[in-house]
Amino acid sequence: MPFEERVRLVVDDAYFTFTHSKVEGLIRRAGRRYPNADLRRIDLLDERSLNRQLLTQLGTRSFVARQQNVVFQGFTGSGNSYLGCAIAKRACEHRIHSHCVRMPDLKEAWVAAQDSHGGSGTFLRKYAAFTLLVIDEWLLGRPMESMLGMLLELMERRYGETSTVFCTQYSQKDWHQRFGSGVHADALMDRIIHNTIWVETGTYNMREHTTLASA
């Protein structure tokens, strides 16, 4: 084998090893609730009525390039969280800095941040910086006034710069009320809904289906 060919193979191998290591690190640090979640393993049961074409489109990460948001909305157990984790993994595989967080945990982190000098700013910079942020259990509890202020500032920083995935049981018509129906609600809705892909995950309970299938 010519010397130049051997050098090319060594360089290719080193690049592959570096890229694989980087991707594995991104996936490991993404904080995914379901580590095995993968878009290529989505159970497309007819009962779920999932839009296969739309899921394939999301898998291309084109929505991230366009700084669009995604909402997975459906009944509890319908697979919102799994889909959010699967999208995060797909993004990591293409070296996109991604992070998953449950809304209750986001609230805890915000409360803790306010107890330290400069903590609020550090918190906002951290969560604004993720190219893809997946927020699970979105609006499960009605946010308090201070939480609404934080969410508004966070969405303002992310708007037009990054992509956010929301996993929720609540349809769009319920969001304004969940936000408290005030000026914060108006401002939050304005920064989220206009550039968002909505994915209905239906009413079929995948947890129950999985339990029965393994019985």
Give the residue from 135, 169, 172 showing the smallest Cα distance to 150.
135
Model confidence over 42-87: pLDDT tens digits?
876 655 778 888 988 999 889 999 999 999 999 888 889 999 999 9
Measured CA to CA, the distance from residue 215 to residue 207 in angstroms comes to 12
Tell me: pLDDT of 16 over 60: no
Tell me the percentage of the chain whose pLDDT exceeds 70: 83
Q: Which domains does the chain have, with CATH numbers?
A: 31-214 (3.40.50.300)
Distances in Å between the Cα of 94 and the Cα atoms of 33, 137, 177 are 20, 25, 37
What is residue 182's predicted lDDT score, i.e. its pLDDT? 93
pLDDT at 202: 78
**More confident site: 209 or 98:** 98
User: Residue range 111-125: average pLDDT?
Assistant: 93
Q: Would you say 178 and 145 are in contact if contact means Cβ atoms under 8 Å apart?
A: no
With cut-offs at 50, 70 and 90, classify the pLDDT of residue 39.
Answer: confident
